[in-house]
Amino acid sequence: MKFIVCEKPQEFKLKEKEIPEPKDGEVLLKIKRIGICGTDIHAFGGTQPYFEYPRILGHELAAEYVKGNAAGFKPGDKVTFIPYFNCGTCVACRNGLTNCCVNIKVFGVHIDGGMAEYVTIPEQYLLHGQGLDYDELALVEPLAIAAHGVRRAAVKSTDTVLVMGAGPIGIGLIQFAKIAGAKVIVMDINDYRLNFCKTELNADETINPLNDDVAAKLAELTNGDMANVVIDATGNQKVMNSAFNYISHGGRFVLVGLQKGELSFSHPDFHKRESTLMSSRNATIEDFEYVMKCLKEGKIDPKKYITHRTSFSEMITDFGQLIDPKNNVIKALIEIE
The reported pLDDT for the residue numbered 289 is 97
Q: What is the pLDDT of residues 255-266, one digit of tens each?
A: 999 888 899 999
Burial class (CB in 10 A: 0-12, 13-18, 19+), 112: middle
How many whole angstroms separate alpha carbon 331 and alpha carbon 166?
Answer: 11
Per-residue pLDDT of the chain (337 residues; tens, 9 = 90+): 999 999 999 999 999 999 999 999 999 999 999 999 888 888 888 877 778 899 999 999 999 999 999 999 999 999 999 999 999 999 999 999 999 999 999 999 999 999 999 999 999 999 999 999 999 999 999 999 999 999 999 999 999 999 999 999 999 999 999 999 999 999 999 999 999 999 999 999 999 999 999 999 999 999 999 999 999 999 999 999 999 999 999 999 999 998 888 999 999 999 999 999 999 999 999 999 999 999 999 999 988 889 999 999 999 999 999 888 889 999 999 999 7
* Cis-peptide, bond into residue 22, ω within 30° of zero: no
Distance separating alpha carbons of residues 95 and 67, to the nearest angstrom: 33
Catalogue all structural domains in the chain, each as residue range(s) with its CATH number: 2-139+306-335 (3.90.180.10), 149-279 (3.40.50.720)
Is the Cβ–Cβ distance between 279 and 254 less than 8 Å?
Answer: yes
| Inter-residue contact 36 to 323 (CB < 8 Å) | yes
- Determine the pLDDT at residue 182: 98
Q: Which residues pair with 276 in a beta bridge?
A: 252
The residue among 153, 91, 112 whose CA lies nearest residue 17 is 112
Nearest partner of 144 among 295, 335, 321, judged by Cα? 295
- Is residue 266 exposed (0-12), middle (13-18) or buried (19+ Cβ within 10 Å)? exposed
- CB contact at 8 A, 242 and 234: no
* Percentages of the chain per state (helix, strand, coil), in multiples of 5: 30, 30, 40
How many Å apart are CA 281 and CA 188, to the nearest integer? Answer: 22
For the entire predicted model, the pTM comes to 0.95
Query: Is residue 145 exposed (0-12), middle (13-18) or buried (19+ Cβ within 10 Å)?
Result: buried
Question: Residue 159 burial (CB < 10 Å; 0-12/13-18/19+)?
Answer: buried
Q: Which SS3 state, helix, strand or coil, does residue 137 take? A: helix
Helix (H/G/I), strand (E/B), else coil: 172:
helix
Cα–Cα distance measured from residue 118 to residue 114, given in angstroms and rounded to the nearest whole number:
8
Start-to-end CA span in the chain (Å): 13
Phi/psi for 43 (5° steps) reads -65, -45
